[in-house]
């Protein structure tokens, strides 16, 4: 498979992971959508699949051709010029790696710390989405554009709902 296809698969899996994670973290949405208790397993599988596809995308597209330039990846595109979209893609990969990895450490660290670390999935996904939309190989194709618009709109609406829900809960507690 091509590097760009791995990137698109990573985007779809990570978007689905953000959506399922957001729904699972919202008591209101979980009850209204009648989310089964085992949906957490789906969230975990989507996260791991997205991370695996993103890692293949990174290694096939950047690391192997660049050899020893691993540390420069965050700041330089394969062509050697700084690129915000490229940098955000790499930062999104690092953030996804950290957010997914913290899932397996949740019983070893305090709950507030784990929640903050795991919440890095949101900015990591936003960075990866920016990377996908701006420099994705097939972004100009109408079906790909529709996919990006639809998935980003759904993910954004759910995250906004979740933030509103948290703000209301905090206000009620104070």
pLDDT at 78: 60
Quick one: which H or E segment has residue 110? none
Give the C-alpha separation, 49 to 150, whole Å: 21
Give the C-alpha separation, 30 to 2, whole Å: 37
pLDDT at 72: 45
Q: How far is CA 32 from CA 24, 27, 35, in A?
A: 11, 9, 8
Give the C-alpha separation, 116 to 24, whole Å: 16
Band the pLDDT of 161: cuts 50, 70, 90.
very high
> Domain containing 117: what range?
3-173
Instruction: Supply the pTM of this predicted model.
Output: 0.87
Expressed in angstroms, the distance from the first to the final Cα of the chain is 53
Please state the domain count of the chain.
1
Band the pLDDT of 160: cuts 50, 70, 90.
very high
Taking 50 as the threshold, does the pLDDT of residue 81 lie above it?
A: yes
Kindly calculate the radius of gyration of the chain based on its CA atoms and give it in whole angstroms: 17
- Rounded mean pLDDT, 9-13: 96
């Amino acid at each position: 498979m091509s590097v760009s296809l791995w990137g698109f698969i990573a985007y779809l899996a990570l978007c689905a992971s953000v959506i399922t994670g957001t729904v699972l973290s919202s008591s209101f949405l979980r009850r209204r959508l009648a989310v089964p208790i085992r949906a957490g397993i789906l969230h975990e599988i989507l996260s791991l699949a997205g991370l695996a596809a993103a890692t293949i995308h990174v290694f096939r597209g950047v690391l192997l051709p660049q050899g020893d330039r691993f540390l420069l990846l965050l700041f330089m595109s394969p062509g050697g010029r700084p690129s915000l979209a490229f940098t955000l893609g790499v930062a999104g990969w690092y953030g996804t790696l950290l957010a997914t990895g913290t899932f397996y450490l949740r019983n070893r660290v305090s709950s507030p710390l784990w929640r903050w670390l795991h919440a890095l999935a949101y900015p990591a996904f936003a960075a990866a989405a920016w990377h996908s939309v701006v420099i994705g190989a097939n972004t100009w194709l109408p079906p790909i554009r529709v996919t990006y618009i639809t998935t980003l709109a759904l993910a954004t609406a759910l995250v906004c709902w979740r933030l509103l829900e948290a703000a209301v809960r905090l206000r009620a507690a104070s």
